[in-house]
Amino acid sequence: MFLKSISAKLIATFLLILALSLAIYVTLFSITMHRDAERSIVRSLPMISSLLNTEFACLNVVPHEDNQDTRCEISSILSGLQPTLQAEFLWVVTPSGKIVTARNAKIPDHTLFFHKTLNNGITLSFFSSLDTDELLALTFPIPLWNGKGKIIIVQQTTWPSHKILLDFLVPTAGTGLLIGLIVLPLITRTLRPLKELEAKVINYATGDLSERIEPVDNDEIGRLSRTFNIMADNLEQMTKFRHELTANISHELRSPLTRIQMSEELANMGCDKKNYDNVKKHLRAIRNEVAELDGLIEEILRLSRMELSTQVGEIGACDVADTLQRLLRKSAPIIERKTLNVETTLSHDSVITCNYPMVNLAISNLVANALKFAPEFGCIRVTTISNSCLVSIQIYNSFYRKLTSSELVSIFEPFARAEGENIPGTGLGLALVAKVAEQHAGTITAENRDGGILFTITLPRGFAEQQLPT
């Protein structure tokens, strides 16, 4: 379409509707005018026929066509009939086709277009000449010349239908255009937010991710603006996450790759010296580093899938208490090696509907985090609290210091570590826990407690399938 502006399209649509409305009116007006004129004529036919028979009855039934006295009598009758019938022109046609008119009357050069036969030999035609508009003409038989004579009556000029039409169309069209001129500023004002939205979207598309729109009204454009802001926030967050993830991945991969490189060089030196025991030691170190890298990459892929809202696993029931007991039993060797004191207070009714693999991963990461950072002879307390709507899991582990308020928030970000910590790990465990809680409309918090840190994850008891990522 040639019109690219919405305002131009609206104006064009308004003008098209106005033109169609006027065209429909002209058609209906023309049909109605002709129909009403014919009905009026049909109603007057008996009266006109009776009047003509009365007027011409006094003449000889078979007058001589060329008799001057007869022609004068006919002219006299026509002169009296013309004002009575309100005729523009009228004349008598003899059987031989000669015309007899009223006194001093002049019939212009004309053409009669036959239209239709009404009744009793009466016909309706259209009278057309250069001097007049198109008029209706009626042809009546008269008793002269044994009924072979006829009289043609041309309707007197009334206010022309086309003038009536123009008198209506001109003010109607003018009124329509005036309304258009009044509406145009309203259209411009209505479309101004849309143009601002277009400019913001163009800026956003060119790379300015900080662009946002301030909705003015609560109409469709306002709701579209709010939707754009939500989309922009999500895209900016995803872009920021991608950049941070790329930087963190580069940092996390550098250390094991450096250690692999060093082990490879030492293994080569051992080969040169034929110290194969040393070579085996360094090869085992390389194998361990590769396994660490494999675990890191798996955690990164899992977090990336969750960030992209890719659902993993199916929705089903999860008994939180049973899951915690199973994880603690699997962790018995670590608990025994570090001589940890584990206390559990588990509610019996702690079944939730969830994406089980995700929730199992989150609980497993929380338990693993507590076992990793609890010192030897430390304490771990696992508690579940449930009500009709929510189930909360609290995992406490003793720790040598309190975390700062910023650390209590940042530890849930990818690759985040508490300041000064050297314990090996990917730095993605708690980030995965936070993502699972977010996708299940739950919460995860960390807070300092006496001698340690308490993690609390709260999940809804019933979670609708459509709320989960697809």
3-state secondary structure of 435: helix
| Both structure tokens of 383 | 């508690």
Lateral strand order in the sheet of 123-129:
99-101, 87-93, 149-155, 135-142, 123-129, 110-117
Q: Is the CB of residue 305 less than 8 Å from the CB of residue 313?
A: no
| CA distances to 257, 298, 427 from 291, in Å | 12, 11, 16
Quote the CA–CA distance of 104 and 107 in Å, as a whole number.
Answer: 10
What is the per-residue pLDDT for 286? 81
- Phi, psi (5° rounding) for residue 32? -65, -40
| pTM of the shown model | 0.46
Domain 311-467, CATH class in plain words: alpha beta
- Phi, psi (5° rounding) for residue 255? -65, -55
Quote the CA–CA distance of 441 and 457 in Å, as a whole number.
Answer: 11
> ∠ CA(449), CA(454), CA(458), 5° rounding?
140
What is the per-residue pLDDT for 469? 41
Q: Where are the beta strands (DSSP E) in 34-109?
A: 87-93, 99-101
Q: What is the DSSP letter of 401?
A: S
| Both structure tokens of 102 | 């009223």
What is the per-residue pLDDT for 380? 94
Boundaries of every domain in the chain: 6-164, 311-467
What is the per-residue pLDDT for 314? 67
Q: Is the CB of residue 434 less than 8 Å from the CB of residue 323?
A: no
What is the per-residue pLDDT for 62? 64
Q: Which amino acid is at 444?
A: I
What is the per-residue pLDDT for 129? 85
What is the per-residue pLDDT for 202? 82
What is the per-residue pLDDT for 246? 67
Q: Which residues contact 188 (CB under 8 A, 6 or more apart)?
A: 7
Q: How far is CA 162 from the centre of its chain?
A: 46
What is the per-residue pLDDT for 360? 84
Quote the CA–CA distance of 297 and 89 in Å, as a whole number.
Answer: 106
Q: Which residues of 13-29 are buried (b: 16+ CB within 10 A; e: fewer)?
A: ebeeebeeebeeeeeeb
What is the per-residue pLDDT for 305? 62
Locate tokens 């609560």: which residue? 218
What is the per-residue pLDDT for 125? 87
Q: Is the CB of residue 460 less than 8 Å from the CB of residue 443?
A: no
Sequential pLDDT tens for the chain (470 residues): 455 666 677 777 777 787 787 777 777 777 777 777 777 777 888 888 888 888 887 776 566 666 777 788 888 888 888 888 888 889 988 888 888 888 888 888 888 888 788 888 888 888 888 877 778 888 998 888 777 888 999 886 555 555 666 666 677 777 777 777 777 777 777 777 777 777 878 877 777 777 777 776 777 777 788 888 888 887 777 777 667 666 666 655 666 677 788 888 888 888 887 777 887 887 888 887 787 677 667 766 666 666 655 454 568 888 999 999 999 998 888 889 889 999 999 988 889 988 887 888 889 889 988 998 899 999 999 999 988 889 999 999 998 888 888 888 888 887 666 655 656 666 677 888 888 888 888 999 999 998 899 999 999 987 654 444 43
Q: Which residues contact 417 (CB under 8 A, 6 or more apart)?
A: 411, 425, 427
DSSP 124-181: EEEEEESSS--EEEEEEEESHHHHTEEEEEEEPP-S-HHHHHHHHHHHHHHHHHHHHH
User: Which CATH number does 6-164 carry?
Assistant: 3.30.450
